[in-house]
């Protein structure tokens, strides 16, 4: 016989989990008893928020669910922000927590929460409370069905401490439905193909749900002679260098003009979020002739509009087959139009002011790079102005917009892709949310550049206050000496004052055997 906690860890191994992020506590001892004999790698962050962001970064790069172990009560509340971020961006994340025994609720028990599962329910596909070890195979099979066959979202499984200790025999992974691509009905494919084939100016817009469907999108785009625009979460799905790729500058003229002037738009795996169109003079309004493809029925338009429900890659292949049967439309011209549009983009000051830093990073990083970014002004500019050649290489959770995610997500990304260069970009205000994770990165030996944009606090909010004619209050929140702090964690720390210095510092950081914090001072350094 083994404990329920040991059996749960063994089931995770059967689901091919390799890495778990977490901080042990007295309520999760049985999970760690299981880890000791499992062969799974355990990574110890310095805060449960870091655990969640690391697992999210690991999942965004690997395409598989990141897994966290957290204690009852404060461990759960600390990981809620990463759960909210993963929920917002439709990413797979499994949170396994302990829970207070049912008989101890409301009696002053340590770490007690009135309704822990209810607290997490709003940011998960489901939250399940285990009452018997025999439930575990089925609940994990249900979680993996969400991760593999539905719109990915976090899942929370909580096990009361008395159940974690309960003896059980070894448990076997429950057979779940095989993950199969969902292809829309033939009539929906036919109607969509006909609309796109008849369009004189067709365009394709890919979102985060189509991040792995780039090759299929290109095949269809070449048949239609259609430009491809990318949401921020889809960056890299189609290489920035591809002749038909408009990149993610969706809201800037003349790229925006091509998209808004379309008489046949195909939107795949995207919410058509306002965040991808924020620079438009008027709110984004999709063209009347819109085909919208998504796994989530809630994202689809009501009939008679065309909204095929299906997997992105499989649906794009089916559309390409249908368009191919309709015959070629006209000689190709879109590539030349895309080249002219990209060349003529007129960047607003909010982007142009940060191009020196963005271009320096672009030159310093190899093509196979992975970049994670916080909500900070240079990252907003890089969302549109910095190229991405590979899928799952630009991790900027702009939708939920929390601060502090860049560094821990970079650690998770590096663990998922140890042979690829990974860089984190954060502001001096936001990086202080999770700067302690430099200790984790140092412990793991990550050659990780952390570029800190130092504008002496919350610069974006300061600018917004001034624009609204509000005296800036609460926006001066930085640190005296970031390089010294980095060295205190056993890392390298340098200050740069010019783009050439930044390039050299990134190159040196990638060749180091410990993390490097690069303190980039903009206004005084020619980086703006």
Model confidence at 259: pLDDT above 80: yes
Q: How far apart are CA 492 and CA 484, in angstroms?
A: 9
Per-residue confidence (pLDDT) for residue 525, from 0 to 100: 46
More confident call, 92 vs 280: 92
Say what the pLDDT of residue 524 is: 46
d(CA 250, CA 227): 12
Query: Cα–Cα distance between 391 and 388 in angstroms, integer?
Result: 8
Q: What residues does 93 pair with on adjacent strands?
A: 66, 154
Question: Residue 488: is its pLDDT beyond 70?
Answer: yes
Mean pLDDT over residues 513-518, rounded? Answer: 97
**Average pLDDT of span 364-375:** 96
Residues of the chain with CATH 3.40.50.970: 2-168, 349-521
pLDDT for the residue numbered 113? 84
pLDDT tens for each residue of 123-133: 999 999 999 99
CATH topology of domain 186-343: Rossmann fold (3.40.50)
Percentage above 90 pLDDT, the chain: 80
Give the model's pLDDT for residue 301.
83
pLDDT for 391-416, tens place per residue? 999 999 988 989 999 999 999 999 99
The burial class, CB within 10 Å (0-12 / 13-18 / 19+), for 29 is middle
Distance CA(34)–CA(17), nearest Å, equals: 13
pLDDT at residue number 363: 96
Residue 526 pLDDT > 60, yes or no? no
Q: What is the pLDDT of residue 244?
A: 97
> For residue 522, what pLDDT band results from cuts at 50, 70 and 90?
low
- Count other C-beta atoms under 10 Å from residue 461's C-beta: 16
pLDDT of residue 84: 97
User: Would you say domain 2-168 falls under CATH 3.40.50.970?
Assistant: yes
Rounded CA separation 127/478 (Å): 38
For the sheet with 41-43, list strands across it: 41-43, 19-22, 66-70, 93-99, 154-160, 126-129
pLDDT reading at 33 higher than 70: yes
pLDDT digits (tens, 9 = 90+) for 49-69: 999 999 999 999 999 999 999
Q: Which two tokens stand for residue 464?
A: 């917004």
pLDDT at 181 over 80: no
Q: Name which of 30-39, 177-186, 508-517 the model is least confident about.
A: 177-186
Q: What is the pLDDT of residues 65-91, one digit of tens each?
A: 999 999 999 999 999 999 999 999 999
pLDDT at 164 over 50: yes
Q: What is the pLDDT of residues 461-478, one digit of tens each?
A: 998 999 999 999 999 888
- The single residue listed with the structure tokens 């655990």 is 51
Q: What is the pLDDT of residue 459?
A: 86
DSSP 299: G
Please give the full DSSP string across 1-65, using - where no structure is assigned: -EEHHHHHHHHHHHTT--EEEE---GGGHHHHHHHHTT--EEE--SSHHHHHHHHHHHHHHHSS-
Q: Can you tell me which residue has the tokens 């302990």? A: 98
Give the span between the Cα atoms of 102 and 139, in whole angstroms: 20
- The answer to whether 308 touches 299, Cβ cutoff 8 Å, is no
- Please name which of 456, 411, 478, 416 lies closest in space to residue 438, comparing C-alpha atoms: 411
Q: What is the CATH number of domain 349-521?
A: 3.40.50.970
Q: What is the mean pLDDT of residues 133-147?
A: 96
pLDDT confidence of 527, banded at 50, 70, 90?
low
pLDDT tens figures, 295-354: 998 888 877 789 999 999 999 999 999 999 998 767 889 999 999 999 999 899 989 999
On average, the pLDDT of the chain sits at: 93
d(C-alpha 510, C-alpha 505), whole Å? 9
Could you read off the pLDDT of 218-251 as tens digits, one per residue? 999 999 999 999 999 999 999 999 999 999 999 9
């Amino acid at each position: 016989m083994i404990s329920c906690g040991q059996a749960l860890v063994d089931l995770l191994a059967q689901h091919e989990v390799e890495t778990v992020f977490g901080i042990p506590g007295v309520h999760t001892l049985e999970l760690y008893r299981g880890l000791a004999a499992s062969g799974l790698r355990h990574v110890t962050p310095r805060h449960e928020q870091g655990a969640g962001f690391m697992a999210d970064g690991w999942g965004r790069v690997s395409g598989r669910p990141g897994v966290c172990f957290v204690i009852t009560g404060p461990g759960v509340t600390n990981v809620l922000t990463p759960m909210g971020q993963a929920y917002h961006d439709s990413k797979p994340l499994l949170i396994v927590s302990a829970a207070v025994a049912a008989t101890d609720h409301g009696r002053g028990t340590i770490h007690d929460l009135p309704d822990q599962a209810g607290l997490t329910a709003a940011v998960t596909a489901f939250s399940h409370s285990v009452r018997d070890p025999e439930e575990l195979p089925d609940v994990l099979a249900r979680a993996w069905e969400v991760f593999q066959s539905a719109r990915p979202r976090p899942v929370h499984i909580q096990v009361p401490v008395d159940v974690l200790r309960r003896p059980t025999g070894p448990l076997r992974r429950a057979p779940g439905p095989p993950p199969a691509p969902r292809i829309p009905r033939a009539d929906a494919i036919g109607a969509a193909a006909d609309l796109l084939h008849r369009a004189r100016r067709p365009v394709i817009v890919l979102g985060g749900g189509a991040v792995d469907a780039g090759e299929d999108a290109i095949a269809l785009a070449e048949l239609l002679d259609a430009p491809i625009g990318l949401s921020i979460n889809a960056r890299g799905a189609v290489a920035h260098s591809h002749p038909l790729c408009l990149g993610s500058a969706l809201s800037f003229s003349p790229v925006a003009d091509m998209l808004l002037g379309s008489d046949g738009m195909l939107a795949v795996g995207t919410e058509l979020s306002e965040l991808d169109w924020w620079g438009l003079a008027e709110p984004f309004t999709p063209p009347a002739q819109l085909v919208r493809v998504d796994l989530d029925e809630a994202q689809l338009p009501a009939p008679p509009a065309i909204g095929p429900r299906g997997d992105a890659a499989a649906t794009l292949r089916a559309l390409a087959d249908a368009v191919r049967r309709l015959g070629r439309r006209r000689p190709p011209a879109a590539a030349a139009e895309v080249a002219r549009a990209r060349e003529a983009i007129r960047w607003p000051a909010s982007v142009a002011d940060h191009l020196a830093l963005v271009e320096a990073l672009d030159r310093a990083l190899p093509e196979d790079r992975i970049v994670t970014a916080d909500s900070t002004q240079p990252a907003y500019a890089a969302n549109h102005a910095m190229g991405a050649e590979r899928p799952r290489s630009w991790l900027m959770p702009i939708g939920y917009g929390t601060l502090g995610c860049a560094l821990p997500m970079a650690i998770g990304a590096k663990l998922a892709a140890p042979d690829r260069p990974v860089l984190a970009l954060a502001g001096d205000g936001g990086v202080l949310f999770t700067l302690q994770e430099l200790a984790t990165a140092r412990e793991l030996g990550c050659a990780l550049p952390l570029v800190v944009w130092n504008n002496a606090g919350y610069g974006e909010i300061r600018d917004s206050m001034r624009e609204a004619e509000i005296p800036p209050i609460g926006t001066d929140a930085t640190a005296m000496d970031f390089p010294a702090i980095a060295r205190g964690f056993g890392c390298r720390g340098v200050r740069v004052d010019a783009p050439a210095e930044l390039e050299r510092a990134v190159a040196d950081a990638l060749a180091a055997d410990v993390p490097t914090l690069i303190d980039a001072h903009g206004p005084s350094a020619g980086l703006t």
